[in-house]
Structure 1
Amino acid sequence: MNDIPCHQCPLRPLPLFIAHSPDELVLVQSLKRRELRLAAGETLIHEGHADAPLYTLLDGWAFRYKTLRDGRRQILTFLLAGDFIGVQQRMGDAAAHGVDVLTDARFCVFQRDALWELHRQQPSMGFNITWLTAHEESLVDDTLLSVGRRSAEERIAMLLILLFKRAAALQADGGASGVPFPLTQQHVADGLGLSLVHTNKTLRKLERRGLHRIEDGRLHLRDAKALVRLADLYGDGRPPQRPLI
Structure 2
Amino acid sequence: MKRTLVRNRRLYLESGSAIRCTTAPRRAASKVRRVRIRGSARGRAPCRQATRAGVGSTSAVESVLISSPWRDVVAPLAGDRSLRGLAAMKRLRTDQREALHARLSVREYRRGETVYRPGGHARSLYVVLAGVARLSIPAPNGRSVLIHLLPAGEIFGHTALVDGGAPHIFEAAAYTDLRLGRVASDDFFEVMAGARAPEVRALVSMLTERWISLVQRLARFLAQDLQARVAASLIEVVRGFGVEDTRGHMLSLRITQDTIADLSAGSVRKVNAVLRRFERDGLVRKEHGRIVLPDVGALEALALGG
Larger Rg: 2
> Given the two structures, how large is their TM-score scaled by the length of structure 2?
0.32
Which structure is higher in strand share?
A: 2
> Given the two structures, how large is their TM-score scaled by the length of structure 1?
0.40
Which structure is higher in helix share?
A: 1
Work out which structure has the larger RCO, using CA pairs closer than 8 Å and 6 or more positions apart in sequence: 1
